[in-house]
Structure 1
Amino acid sequence: MRLFTAVTLGDALTAEAGRGIERLRPLAPDAKWVKPEGVHLTLLFLGDVDASRLPELRDALEPVGLYHAPFALSVAGGGTFGPPSHPRVLWADVRGDTAALKALQADVARALEPLGFASEHAEYTAHLTLARARPLRGDPALAACARELRDAKWGEGRVDRLVLFESAQGHYAPRLEVPLERG
């Protein structure tokens, strides 16, 4: 199974992000766009994991929820990764209680490190991936999308759980949901 940990942003913000993606899609028709129902914030990518390891992942992740209270995030603005003339990734900016998000991500990484899963990045940066360029050299059309995103405001959502997702053929299926329960 190809697994990753993530948080979702609630139904209203997910729906608004979906509408935003649909408005931007015609500006970069060759890009690989995120499916609106798959909008999430990845915390830690685990990669290919044998299904027999699900119980140990559950045992490592469930205690994390006890130390975190639900929190609010918003999405507004955005930008690109890669060369400005040929960006490779289009993203929306995540705002709000990003300190709570970073703390949750750090605890997830700490909980999974003894199981052999390491964070890809030294410091976690919250962003909502919207599209990726298909050509390796990037897609100039994503720069036009970023200009359109500059003044976008997609609203606020409540993060109340940590999710272990399986990615299979472009679809994300939850394999474990851990409520954030600190009072």
Structure 2
Amino acid sequence: MEGHHYFFALLLPQHIKSYLHEKCEQIKMEFPFKKWVHHEDYHITLAFLGHAQEEQLEKADMYVKDVLSHSEGFELALHKLGVFGRQDSPRIFWANTKESQQLTDIRKLVYDSCTKAGFKLDPRHFAPHITLARNWEGKDRFSLEALKPFALEEIIFTAKHVVLYETHLNKTPKYVIKKTYLLC
């Protein structure tokens, strides 16, 4: 377990991962990012735990399982592409979903469960997104305006699963599902 990171995430349906992968294949030629995320690793992070002891993971699992047992699946809609970091040389290229109170509520339940289990989590405002690529390497400045021809379709999908992922940096895809929580 040493050297592995863990995090809770909203699992995306396969057709959404495939759609985003096709979109990234169209974009890659014009937008040189250093690392494109493998499409099987697309997700929305709810709580990043980092390194964890087995006992602490078991507590988080128990708390998350309990709070999510009363939660229902909900609809989300793909919304737009964007970046984090400097606008001319971004660190993260992402897709997001339309604002969703249900997603915010699920995130709060998971986040609070993890803090109850003793994890020290990032206190920043929740900005749900799907990381597509990292670290701009273009000779020219990055331009959000140039992304307009690649705008996302507003595809509605149902979020039905939260998962606990374990990170394996030496594998592709690098995230392995350790636990799955069904939203009824």
- Give the TM-score taking structure 2 as reference length: 0.85
SS in 1 for 2:177: strand
Q: How many Å separate the matches in 2 of 1:105 and 1:123? A: 11
Q: Which residue of 2 aligns with 1:57?
A: 60
Q: How many Å separate the matches in 1 of 2:52 and 2:149? A: 36
Q: Which residue of 2 aligns with 1:10?
A: 13
Match of 2:70 among 67, 71, 77: 67
Tell me if structure 1 keeps the 8 A contact 2:90–2:136: no
Q: How many Å separate the matches in 1 of 2:113 and 2:15? A: 30
How big is each residue's C-alpha offset from its partner over 1:104-147, in whole Å with a ceiling of 9 and x where there is no partner? 00111111112222331432121211111066xx9856536862
Q: Aligned-pair RMSD on alpha carbons? A: 2.4
Tell me if structure 1 keeps the 8 A contact 2:9–2:165: yes
SS in 1 for 2:25: helix
Q: Compared with structure 1, are the counterparts of its residues 14 and 121 closer, same or farther at alpha carbon in structure 2 (3 Å cutoff)?
A: same
Tell me if structure 2 keeps the 8 A contact 1:32–1:132: yes
Query: Which amino acid in 1 is paired with 2:11?
Result: T
Higher mean displacement: 125-134 or 172-181? 125-134
Tell me if structure 1 keeps the 8 A contact 2:78–2:154: yes
Q: Compared with structure 1, are the counterparts of its residues 142 and 38 closer, same or farther at alpha carbon in structure 2 (3 Å cutoff)?
A: farther
Offset at 1:101? 0.5
Please list every run of 5 or more consecutive structure 1 residues that lacks an aligned counterpart in the other structure.
none
Aligned residues: 178
SS in 2 for 1:120: coil
Q: How many Å separate the matches in 1 of 2:149 and 2:110? A: 30
Matched, 1:84 2:96: no
Offset at 1:52? 4.4
Please list every run of 5 or more consecutive structure 2 residues that lacks an aligned counterpart in the other structure.
none
Q: How does 1:2-41 map to 2 (within 5 A)?
A: 2-41=5-44
Match of 1:113 among 94, 112, 115: 115
Offset at 1:7? 0.6
Q: How many Å separate the matches in 2 of 1:34 and 1:154? A: 21
Match of 1:177 among 172, 176, 180: 180
Match of 1:46 among 49, 55, 63: 49
Query: Which amino acid in 1 is paired with 2:143?
Result: A
Q: How many Å separate the matches in 2 of 1:12 and 1:141? A: 32
Higher mean displacement: 37-46 or 139-148? 139-148
